[in-house]
Amino acid sequence: MIRFDNVTYVYPTGVKALNGISVEIGRGELVALMGENGAGKTTFIKHLNGLLKPTTGSVYVNGKDTRTLSVAQLSRIVGIMFQNTDDMFFLPTVEEEVAFSLRNLGFSEEVVQRRVDWALKFMELEKYRKRSPFLLSGGEKKRLALAIILAWNPQVIAMDEPTVGQDNAQKEKLKEMIKQLNLQGRSVIISTHDVEFVAELRPRVILMSRGRIVADGRAEAILTDGELLSSCSILMPQVAATVSRLADLGFNTKVISVEDAIRSIVDGLRRLEHTRGA
Amino acid sequence: MEIVKVEGLTFTYSGSDIPALSNIDLSIEDGEFVLLLGPSGCGKSTLCRCLNGLIPHFYAGKIDGRVIVAGMDVSKTPTYVLSQHVGMVFQNPENQLFSLTVENDVAFALENLGIPRDEIRRRVDFALKAVGIEDLSKRSPFELSGGQQQKVAIASILALMPRLMVLDEPTSSLDPVSAKSIIDTIFKIKKELGTTVIVAEHRVELLADKVDRVIVMQKGSIIMDGDPREIFASEEVMPYGVPVPKVVSMAKGVNKHLKVFNDVPLSPEEFERGIRGFVHDKVR
Ligand SMILES: Nc1ncnc2c1ncn2[C@@H]1O[C@H](COP(=O)(O)OP(=O)(O)O)[C@@H](O)[C@H]1O
Ligand SMILES: Nc1ncnc2c1ncn2[C@@H]1O[C@H](COP(=O)(O)OP(=O)(O)O)[C@@H](O)[C@H]1O
Ligand SMILES: [Mg+2]
Ligand SMILES: [Mg+2]
């Protein structure tokens, strides 16, 4: 679906933001791209729809080199929600914002209406249909940006820091939505350093640092490796950080969810009671 | 002494018919560290804007009630005067940056205050170091990533050392290590200088064990206000979607099986202490 082949990207200022990235992301995969500020996550994501082209190496989307396709062509396959969604709105109402790019992509008016309805409903923005995007709060704007991308129905959805500015209830909603999009067979790639969110989502984690991929594996393995994470300015999720302090008591420390942690601790304490004799 | 006094504050943005804040009464003591929680759209940013005078001076709307900050009536005080007492980090820091280099941005407010050059140098160096961006000092703020820009905005107010810091989701774009180190720095400054800090932040894991007080907002009103341990332990917060630190949920879950915790822990350290205390007392 997506393949990076030894990709290096150097900004005009001389900053080497990607440095020898080779990775494949398959159809229907759920991936979290993690790494410190400046690791290169946003630069990586901008390569997915051709906004940036590699300085050296190549990016392939559905087998085609992104250099051979326009951003508009790639955007039908890969929908990207960017980090700064605040400045991207320019139309008088929320529903027109969602309809705009659909009309641009050449969909019939009937399809446009159906998709606008669906996307606004999905993101719980129906009540703001006729409102100006500028009157939305930060979190609401983020949801609008997602609604716009969802309306295109792309095979790959990439979200750059989707949880930023989102409250608990919205993150919960976002998590369910990501799972649902993923269940529909779409590849979902999120860049984030929200470890708590990733711990709940349990995706494949690609860990980046200074333009390189330093680890790639299941969330359970990577998010419990404190040393690896701190070398990338990431902390363990609070569950793992808490249980890891109790390793000397013989508790299972490879846990990232609250439920697993409770089981690990209760089992561990019962074992101690048993072996030491109450 | 009280540094913030809000009385019957109601604010409606022009173009909207629902008030973003309705009848807020709030009093904050000098030196308090206050966490502002609540779902998106509940009015946290609007309340922050009322404290530094952006409302009513720059946002159009209808305002009722009074906001007194450091003894000044906000609606009658020009924002440049307020800004000497209230340092603000906005939710979207890119709107806050405007100079050619990072260090000019951080020095800007200090130059306006007429602080001597060597003192400015010292404070700028301190602030850049505190947020870990010494190496970016000569860069243009506009070519930085969102997280780096957020650090510049935070450095600017650390350099200013105001009596009141208002931080609107200050770590939202930061990686966890930077976020933790910035919260730790703010906590240290608060303790050393007695700065009052009001922070709107969803990442409760970083703040639960540090703040003196938690205020929960909902639809423009304050619905809970009190001690963090009581608020996070209370079952009442659940329906409001208030984020609760994972250690609280873990302790409650463990307690259902074994009575380990008397008080809910607010950090991994406190959680560990609870477990080790239990092992020491009960498992023998
Ligand atoms: N438009 C740009 N011009 C020059 N350098 C940039 C630009 N955008 C990002 N960079 C630099 O590239 C590196 C990677 O940035 P980015 O991909 O935004 O990282 P992340 O998203 O992981 O925080 C950083 O050092 C950043 O300063
Ligand atoms: N500049 C603005 N103009 C008009 N309405 C706004 C503006 N900013 C926020 N609002 C509205 O005010 C309410 C409170 O928003 P806000 O203070 O941003 O909440 P929070 O910071 O808690 O997410 C929301 O309903 C939002 O849509
Ligand atoms: Mg980024
Ligand atoms: Mg806000």
How confident is the model over B117-161, as pLDDT tens digits? Answer: 999 999 999 999 988 899 999 999 888 877 888 889 999 999 988
Is A164's CB within 8 Å of B173's CB? yes
Span of A84-93, B137-146, B221-230 with lowest mean pLDDT: A84-93
Q: Is A168 on the interface with B (CB under 8 A)?
A: yes
B57-85 pLDDT tens trace: 999 999 999 999 999 999 999 988 898 89
Task: Kindly give, in sequence order, each residue whose CB lies less than 8 Å from that of residue B144, ignoring residues fewer than 6 positions away.
Answer: B102, B136, B152
Q: Which residues on adjacent β-strands are paired with residue B36?
A: B200, B215
- Residue B9's pLDDT is what? 98
Q: Which residue has the higher pLDDT, B189 or A53?
A: A53
Burial A251-269 (b: 16+ CB within 10 A, else e): bebebbbbebbbbbbbebb
Q: How far apart are the first and last CA of chain A?
A: 57
Tens-digit pLDDT profile for residues B31-64 = 999 999 998 889 999 999 999 999 999 999 999 9
Are A201 and A175 in contact, with CB atoms under 8 Å apart? yes
Handedness of CA A125, A130, A134, A137 (dihedral sign): negative
User: Which pLDDT band, with edges at 50, 70 and 90, does A258 fall under?
Assistant: very high
pLDDT of residue B247: 96
Q: Which of B39, B203, B245 sits opposite A169 (nearest CB)?
A: B39
Mean pLDDT of B9-23: 96
Flag if A196 and B246 touch (Cβ within 8 Å).
yes
pLDDT value for B113: 82
A53 pLDDT more than 90: yes
State the closest ligand 1 atom to the C-alpha of B144, by its place in the atom list counted from 1. 27
Answer yes or no: is pLDDT of B99 > 70. yes
**DSSP states along A79-137:** EEE-S--GGG--SSSHHHHHHHHHHHTT--HHHHHHHHHHHHHHTT-GGGTTS-GGGS-
Whether residue A64 is predicted with pLDDT greater than 60 in this model: the reply is yes
Say if A270 is an interface residue toward chain B (CB within 8 Å): yes
pLDDT over 60 (residue A278)? no
Q: Which residues of B touch A214 (CB under 8 A)?
A: none
Q: Which atom of ligand 1 lies nearest, measured to the CA of A83?
A: 21
Q: For position B19, what pLDDT does the model report?
A: 97
Instruction: Give residue B231's pLDDT band: very low, low, confident or very high (50, 70, 90).
Output: very high
Q: Contact A174/A17 with Cβ under 8 angstroms?
A: no
pLDDT at site B284: 62
Band of residue A117 on the pLDDT scale cut at 50, 70, 90: very high
CA distance A149 to A162: 13
Report B:234-253 residues touching A (Cβ under 8 A): 241-243, 245-247, 249-250, 253
Ligand 2 close to Cβ of residue B40 (< 6 A): yes
Nearest to A18 by CA among A4, A1, A2, A3: A4
Q: Which residue has the tokens 């019957």?
A: B8
How much is the pLDDT for B272? 97
The answer to whether residue B56 neighbours chain A at the CB level (below 8 Å) is: no
B106 compared with B173, residue with greater pLDDT: B106
pLDDT-derived band of residue A93, with 50, 70 and 90 as boundaries? very high
Range ranked top by mean pLDDT from A33-42, A96-105, A157-166, B220-229 = B220-229
Q: What percent of chain B has pLDDT over 70?
A: 98
Tell me the mean pLDDT in the region B192-218: 94
CA distances from B149 to A45, B140, B141, B170 (A): 19, 10, 6, 11
- Average pLDDT (A1-30) is 97
User: Is the CB–ligand 2 distance for residue B44 below 6 Å?
Assistant: yes
Average pLDDT, chain A: 91
Worst-scoring range by mean pLDDT, A242-246, B35-39, B97-101? B97-101
Count how many Cα atoms sit within 13 Å of the Cα of residue A103 in the half-sphere of its side chain: 8
* A229 to chain B, closest Cα gap in Å: 10
Q: Which residue shows structure tokens 């917060």? A: B237
**Angle formed at CA B136 by CA B133 and CA B137, multiple of 5 degrees:** 95
Cβ contacts of B224-229, under 8 Å, gap ≥ 24: B225/B26, B228/B35, B228/B266, B229/B263, B229/B264, B229/B266
Residue B3 dihedral angles phi and psi, to the nearest 5°: -100, -25
Quickly list DSSP for A31-49: EEEEE-TTSSHHHHHHTTT
- At A144 the three-state DSSP class reads helix
pLDDT(A36) > 70: yes
For chain B, the 3-state helix, strand and coil shares in percent, each to the nearest 5, are 45, 20, 30
Task: Give the largest CA-CA distance in chain A.
Answer: 74
Identify the pLDDT of residue A217.
97
The b-or-e profile of A55-86 (16+ CB within 10 A means b, else e) is eebbbbbeeeebeebeeeebbebbbbbbbbbb
| pLDDT at A86 exceeding the cut of 70 | no
pLDDT, average across residues A173-181: 87
Mean pLDDT of A195-208: 95
Q: Distance between CA B38 and CA B219 in Å, rounded? A: 9
Determine the Cα–Cα distance for residues B160 and B119; give it in Å rounded to an integer: 11
CA of B66 to the centre of ligand 3 (A): 40
Please give the Cα distance from B256 to B8 (Å, whole number). 43
Asked if residue A145 has its Cβ within 6 Å of ligand 2, the reply is no
Q: Is A238 on the interface with B (CB under 8 A)?
A: yes
Report chain B residues whose CB lies below 8 A from the CB of A171: 202
Asked whether residue A143 carries a pLDDT value surpassing 90, the answer given is: no
Cα-Cα end-to-end distance for chain B = 50
> Rounded to whole angstroms, how far apart are CA atoms B123 and B51?
25
- DSSP 8-state secondary structure symbol assigned to residue B114: T
CB nearest to A84's CB, from B146, B151, B257:
B146
| Distance from C-alpha of A164 to C-alpha of A142, rounded to nearest angstrom | 9
Give the integer Cα–Cα distance in Å for A224 and B250. Answer: 17
Q: What is the pLDDT of residue A137?
A: 74
pLDDT value of position A109 = 93
Is residue A257 pLDDT above 90, yes or no? yes
What is the share, in percent, of chain A residues with pLDDT greater than 70? 98
DSSP string, B77-108: S-HHHHTTTEEEE-SSGGGT--SSSHHHHHHH
pLDDT digits (tens, 9 = 90+) for B178-196: 888 889 989 998 998 899 9
- Set out the domains of chain A in order of their start, with CATH numbers: 2-219 (3.40.50.300), 237-278 (no CATH)
Amino acid A173: pLDDT: 81
- pTM for the full model? 0.84
Q: How confident is the model at residue A111 (pLDDT cuts 50, 70, 90)?
A: very high
| Res B108: pLDDT | 86
Query: What is the per-residue pLDDT for A101?
Result: 83
Bridge partners of residue A65, in order along the sequence: A60
